[in-house]
Amino acid sequence: MAETILQGIPVSTGISVGRAFFLNRGHIHNMPRQTIPVEELDKEVSRLEQAFQRALEELERIQTRVPSELMEHARIIDSHIMMLQDPKLLESTKDYIRRMQLNAEWALEKSVEDIESVFRTLEDAYIRERIQDVRVVAGRVQQHLWGGTNSGIKSIHSRVILLAHDLSPADIVELEVGKIMAFATVTGGKTSHSGILARALQIPAIVGVAELEDFIQDGQLIIIDGLQGRIYVEPDEEELSEFTDLKYQFEDYQARIIRSSHLPAETIDGYQVKVFANIELLEEISSVLGNGGEGIGLYRTEYSYLNRINMPDEEQLLDEYRDLASMIHPGKMVIRTLDVGADKFISHFGPLDEANPALGLRAIRFCLHHQDLFRVQLRAILRASVHENISLMFPMISGLGELLRVKAFMGSVQAELKKQGLKYNPKMPVGIMIELPSAMLTADILAGEVDFFSIGTNDLIQYSLGIDRTNSHVSYLYQPLHPALVRMIKYVVDAGHRAGIEVSLCGEMAADPYCIPVLMGMQVDCLSMNPQAIPVTKHIIRQASMEDCKDLLKQVLASRTVSRNNKLVKDSIFRQHPHELMFYSSLLDEGY
Ligand code: PEP
Ligand code: MG
């Protein structure tokens, strides 16, 4: 048996066996606190100056290597360079060295703590938030003070499994994919930057491993099981050979299903469903096309606003949306307006002071509150809509009144464009996400006002079962096949179809191999998911029959418990794919 087995959230599938390499940044409390003799203070100050200089040179080097598609996300590097060039941090640290005879590492920590205490008292949330950047910059200098030997990404010489507390945008730019076999981080959820990157790079990854730093040492042999979200530390021979086998089988399996992923998702009895992709970054488009995605069912536009100081302007957004639309053409692309708040903050606004952020100023509410910001995005989307494959979608709509207010606002933006002689497509399809129970129960009313629905089960589960989707303590209750959920989804699909509009599903559930036949039974028109999941999804659909799916749905609708539903769908998949179950990762939890 392995020394330890750690559990996290699998965000990118696959298996990797290799040596652990910790990206050991910002761990000041591991560093010794020393008193520097008076005669050596000058030397300590020049050691500090050199570390600042090296950190600066390092960032400037990284800046020149930023691939164009990551440019937007790498802007934060500019601000870090500016911080290193600003003499204040350096001067106050030198002062600590001289006054308190502190070693440079601890003197820098003291300076950062001082800045932190000033920042905490500031009213402006945006400025308050900048302390995170000061920490990251100081961490980079610390690394050079400490020797800068084995903890930076650039010092990786052989293929390793990268472990980190978190991965910053600068780290992401520095990654040389060829050297990283897999990675795991302490922080992060399914939609964190590190998870997105892992899927884009197609390497196994696990996030949210709380005990990562406590149980793994640099250089230890570990297995990353990106199928189950487990890390095996110092596995025994039996585990090693078991996972090596599984890795080859998985790779074989993937190659096989990718070969057929360009075929339509059609059941053996001729029912066809669209399989689209959810994306967050422009660079994921190649993965969408390579995995057989037929369009983009959800473009999470908020990622272009994160990790940057200045908000993107209309022209930048217009370019971004146009580029994506032409790359996916003739496939369709659904642009969702900003969904920030809750766990996603725009640096410009900083975290809001809310007791329950998931129930607060999020998504459409945030946009209606910050209308200038919303107007810029809507203008860009409308102007991009002359590419006729673009649709628009609003998140977190709670009811008809709110929807009408949003539509009126959009009407005023359209009028503004018209007055300025700027073109847009007045017939661009406009849809909404159904992700609040109130929207779900009024779906029949809302359907008359929009061109399509997209069911966001990630939030619909959160808000209807009362479970914070990022809270690991209640994740056992996060059950997509709760009878309430199954009824809700069916209700929305039927309401949409009665009104003659298309209904998609774009939550993680859409890619869950066990849930797909149930969703098919409801005759959902489109399933939208992370690009990596497309081949498996199409494979399952192509082996299924609509008749069986409807039969399964009937049984699920008649059942009274989650556990019965989970058993029904598992038995059904087992009958169809007995040898493939080990490759299927699922949201379904055992035993509830
Ligand atoms: C959802 O809520 O299901 C969804 C797809 O949106 P997001 O995960 O971005 O909240
Ligand atoms: Mg959502």
Q: How confident is the model at residue 372 (pLDDT cuts 50, 70, 90)?
A: very high
Q: Are residues 448 and 472 in the same domain?
A: yes
Condensed to tens digits (0 to 9), the pLDDT of residues 552-570 reads: 999 999 999 999 999 999 9
| Mean pLDDT value across the chain | 87
Q: Is the CB of 336 under 6 A from ligand 1?
A: no
Of ligand 1's listed atoms, the one at least distance from the Cα of 509 is: 3
Q: Is the CB of 528 under 6 A from ligand 1?
A: no
Of ligand 1's listed atoms, the one at least distance from the Cα of 456 is: 3
∠ CA 137-139-145, nearest 5°, is 110
Q: Is the pLDDT of residue 86 over 60?
A: yes
Burial class (CB in 10 A: 0-12, 13-18, 19+), 225: buried
Residue 543 falls within a domain, yes or no?
A: yes
Percentage of residues in the chain having pLDDT higher than 70: 86
Q: Are residues 224 and 322 in the same domain?
A: no
Q: Is the CB of 226 under 6 A from ligand 1?
A: no
pLDDT score of 149: 46
Q: Is the CB of 379 under 6 A from ligand 1?
A: no
Taking the CA atoms of residue 421, residue 427, residue 433 and residue 438 in that order, the dihedral angle to the nearest 10 degrees is 100
Q: Are residues 463 and 369 in the same domain?
A: yes
Residues 6+ apart with CB under 8 A from 120: 128, 131
Condensed to tens digits (0 to 9), the pLDDT of residues 70-79 reads: 665 566 778 7
Q: Are residues 318 and 171 in the same domain?
A: no
Q: Are residues 231 and 311 in the same domain?
A: no
User: Which ligand is in closest contact with the Cα of 461?
Assistant: 1
Q: Are residues 233 and 293 in the same domain?
A: no
Q: Is the CB of 530 under 6 A from ligand 1?
A: no
Distance of CA 488 from the midpoint of ligand 2 (Å): 16
pLDDT score of 383: 98
Distance (Å, whole) CA 188 – CA 176: 21
Which residue, by CA, sits nearest to atom 1 of ligand 1? 456
- Structural domain including 6 reads 1-24+152-260
Distance of CA 78 from the midpoint of ligand 1 (Å): 31
Tally of structural domains, the chain: 2
pLDDT score of 67: 62
Distance (Å, whole) CA 340 – CA 377: 13
DSSP annotation of 283: G
pLDDT score of 169: 46
Instruction: Name the token pair of 199.
Output: 């899927």
Condensed to tens digits (0 to 9), the pLDDT of residues 289-334 reads: 999 999 999 999 987 887 566 789 999 999 999 999 999 999 999 9
Last residue of a domain, one of 260, 287, 315: 260
Instruction: Name the token pair of 165.
Output: 């507390």
Per the residue annotation, which of 165, 370, 506, 526 is the catalytic one?
Answer: 506
pTM to 2 decimal places:
0.75
Which residue, by CA, sits nearest to atom 8 of ligand 1? 458
Report which of 487, 457, 462, 456 is spatially closest to residue 477, judged by C-alpha positions.
Answer: 462
Give the position of tokens 């303590």: 473
pLDDT score of 26: 47
pLDDT score of 307: 58
Q: Are residues 494 and 550 in the same domain?
A: yes
Q: Are residues 297 and 255 in the same domain?
A: no
Q: How confident is the model at residue 591 (pLDDT cuts 50, 70, 90)?
A: very low
Percentage of residues in the chain having pLDDT higher than 90: 54
549 flagged as catalytic: no
Condensed to tens digits (0 to 9), the pLDDT of residues 24-61 reads: 654 555 566 788 888 889 999 999 999 999 888 888 88
Burial class (CB in 10 A: 0-12, 13-18, 19+), 217: exposed
Distance of CA 458 from the midpoint of ligand 1 (Å): 5
Q: Are residues 511 and 365 in the same domain?
A: yes
Instruction: Name the token pair of 490.
Output: 């069916």
Q: Are residues 165 and 220 in the same domain?
A: yes
Q: Is the CB of 459 under 6 A from ligand 1?
A: yes
Q: The domain that contains 202 carries what CATH number?
A: 3.50.30.10
Q: Rounded to the nearest 10 degrees, what angle do helices 546-558 and 483-498 cross at?
A: 130
Distance (Å, whole) CA 526 – CA 339: 21
Which residue, by CA, sits nearest to atom 7 of ligand 1? 458
Residue 329 falls within a domain, yes or no?
A: yes
Q: Is the pLDDT of residue 193 over 60?
A: no
Last residue of a domain, one of 228, 260, 292: 260
Amino acid at 435: E
Per the residue annotation, which of 73, 80, 144, 193 is the catalytic one?
Answer: 193
Instruction: Give the least confident one: 125-139, 152-166, 223-237, 363-377.
Output: 125-139
Last residue of a domain, one of 260, 291, 309: 260
Distance (Å, whole) CA 555 – CA 528: 25
Residue 402 falls within a domain, yes or no?
A: yes
- In 3-state terms, what secondary structure has residue 217? coil
Residue 225 falls within a domain, yes or no?
A: yes
In degrees and rounded to multiples of 5, residue 508 shows phi and psi of -55, -25
506 flagged as catalytic: yes
Residue 337 falls within a domain, yes or no?
A: yes
∠ CA 19-24-28, nearest 5°, is 150
Distance (Å, whole) CA 55 – CA 30: 20
